[in-house]
């Protein structure tokens, strides 16, 4: 049975995750559809008089997928699912099937649109050149104003903020995200000074300077001259091979030949993961390793440590930053 319901401004009709038990027709006022994001809400749409909301749960009984609240004093007509289902039961089976299928299609389409929007937002926020730009700003401020300390080089968060926004005219929230990511990864530390500012210490200044030069060189090389990037898993394999390469002598060509059978047998103990001989194949294909060498019954991977160590370190940082900066 339909019933009227009034909502004062900023009151919720329902919240994300609530059980769905009715759909609503807006009689007067204005509603907002929002999604909770951290401590705030993002508005997705406005619902005007004459429109309806909450109808999708009628077919699949899934929890509410968003918040709906009144932007101003609003009156809605509630149509309980129990009453609507009785009316639906009177429709032919094929009509109910079409309605249910349409509902599922709309819900899946909305989900895919949301995923694409999220992916695009992440891509626009921190594409590779933006990562390197903010790393460069960070390096510049540390190089020019950093104070040497026992653990590294330190600067004030105020100084970094001022340079980011005033000199380079970039968003300070992005710099904050970059600093937090590098802190989590062990490159920086942050210490509150008690006045709302922080002392930021760079623990690995040389590595971050080298990273910017390396990444800039990779980004602006012609595609035909640029090695393919390493995935997170490939970095794990390469780091394991580096560990084992350091245990064997370097030959007259500057290579350390790693027995892949030894790696498979001892990798779980040494690196906490099973590294199989075939795991090195993609590294050979991408030319981070030379071709495998057969010697008797053993297969060896030639590792050029001066080349692959910075590659593994830098691609690991790229992959970790992409995850942290989503």
Give yes or no: residues 76 and 97 share one domain.
yes
- How far from each other are the two terminal CA atoms of the chain, in whole angstroms? 46
CATH at residue 177: 1.10.10.10
Cβ atoms within 10 Å, residue 154? 19
- Inform me whether the pLDDT recorded for 48 exceeds 70: yes
Selected residue with higher pLDDT from 106 and 178: 178
Mean pLDDT of 89-114: 64
- Residue 319 falls within a domain, yes or no? no
C-alpha–C-alpha distance, residues 184 and 236, integer Å: 19
For residue 147, the enclosing domain spans 128-219
CATH at residue 67: 2.60.120.10
Mean pLDDT of 118-127: 57
Give yes or no: residues 268 and 175 share one domain.
no
Provide the Cα torsion 243, 244, 246, 249; round to 10°: -170
DSSP 3-state of 237: helix
What DSSP designation does 56 have?
T
Of 219, 254, 286, the position where a domain reaches its end is 219
**Could you tell me the pLDDT band of residue 119, with boundaries at 50, 70 and 90?**
very low
Residue 122's pLDDT is: 44
Give yes or no: residues 38 and 118 share one domain.
yes
Give yes or no: residues 66 and 102 share one domain.
yes
- Residue 318 falls within a domain, yes or no? no
Mean pLDDT of 87-115: 64
Give yes or no: residues 209 and 267 share one domain.
no
- Residue 12 falls within a domain, yes or no? yes
Q: Which tokens belong to 20?
A: 């769905």
C-alpha–C-alpha distance, residues 117 and 205, integer Å: 35
Give yes or no: residues 117 and 132 share one domain.
no
- Inform me whether the pLDDT recorded for 103 exceeds 70: no
Give yes or no: residues 254 and 215 share one domain.
no
Give yes or no: residues 17 and 108 share one domain.
yes
- Inform me whether the pLDDT recorded for 111 exceeds 70: no
- Residue 314 falls within a domain, yes or no? no
Pick the range with the lowest mean pLDDT from 46-55, 89-98, 108-117, 314-323. 108-117
Residue 92's pLDDT is: 78
- Residue 72 falls within a domain, yes or no? yes
Selected residue with higher pLDDT from 257 and 3: 257
- Inform me whether the pLDDT recorded for 117 exceeds 50: no
Question: For residue range 167-215, what is the model confidence (pLDDT) as tens digits?
Answer: 999 988 889 999 999 999 999 999 998 877 899 999 999 999 999 999 9
- Inform me whether the pLDDT recorded for 39 exceeds 70: no
**Could you tell me the pLDDT band of residue 256, with boundaries at 50, 70 and 90?**
very high
Give yes or no: residues 37 and 113 share one domain.
yes
- Residue 310 falls within a domain, yes or no? no
Mean pLDDT of 14-28: 89
What DSSP designation does 89 have?
T
Give yes or no: residues 249 and 284 share one domain.
yes
Give yes or no: residues 139 and 36 share one domain.
no
Mean pLDDT of 88-109: 67
As for how many domains the chain has, the answer is 3
Q: Which of 25, 24, 28, 30 is nearest to 10 (CA)?
A: 30
- Inform me whether the pLDDT recorded for 113 exceeds 50: no
Give the orientation angle of helix 205-219 with respect to helix 128-145, to 10 degrees: 140
């Amino acid at each position: 049975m339909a019933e009227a319901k009034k909502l004062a401004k900023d009151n919720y009709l329902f919240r994300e995750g609530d059980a769905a038990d009715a759909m609503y027709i807006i009689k007067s006022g204005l509603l907002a559809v929002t999604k909770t994001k951290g401590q705030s809400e993002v508005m997705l749409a406005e619902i005007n008089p004459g429109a309806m909301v909450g109808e999708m749960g009628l077919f699949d009984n899934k929890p509410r997928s968003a918040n709906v609240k009144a932007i101003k004093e609003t009156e809605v007509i509630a149509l309980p699912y129990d009453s609507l289902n009785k009316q639906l039961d009177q429709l032919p089976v094929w009509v109910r099937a079409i309605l249910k299928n349409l509902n599922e299609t709309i819900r899946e389409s909305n989900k895919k649109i949301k995923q694409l929007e999220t992916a695009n937002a992440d891509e626009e926020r921190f594409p590779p050149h933006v990562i390197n730009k903010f790393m460069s700003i960070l390096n510049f401020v540390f190089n020019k104003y950093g104070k040497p300390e026992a653990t590294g080089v330190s600067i004030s968060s105020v100084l970094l903020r001022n340079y980011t926004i005033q000199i380079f005219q970039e968003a300070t929230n992005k710099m904050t995200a970059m600093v937090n990511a590098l802190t989590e990864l062990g490159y920086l530390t942050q210490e509150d000074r008690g006045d709302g500012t922080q002392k930021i210490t760079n623990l690995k200044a040389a590595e971050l300077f080298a990273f910017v030069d390396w990444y800039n060189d990779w980004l602006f090389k012609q595609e035909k001259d640029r090695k393919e990037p390493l995935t997170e898993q490939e970095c794990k394999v390469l780091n394991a091979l580096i560990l084992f390469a350091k245990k064997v002598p370097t030959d007259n060509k500057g290579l350390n030949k790693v027995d892949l059978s030894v790696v498979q047998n001892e990798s779980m103990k040494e690196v906490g993961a099973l590294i199989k001989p075939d795991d090195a194949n993609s590294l050979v294909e991408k030319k981070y390793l030379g071709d495998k060498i057969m010697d008797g019954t053993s297969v060896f991977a030639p590792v050029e440590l001066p080349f692959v160590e910075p590659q593994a370190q830098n691609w690991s940082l790229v992959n970790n930053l992409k995850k942290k900066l989503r």
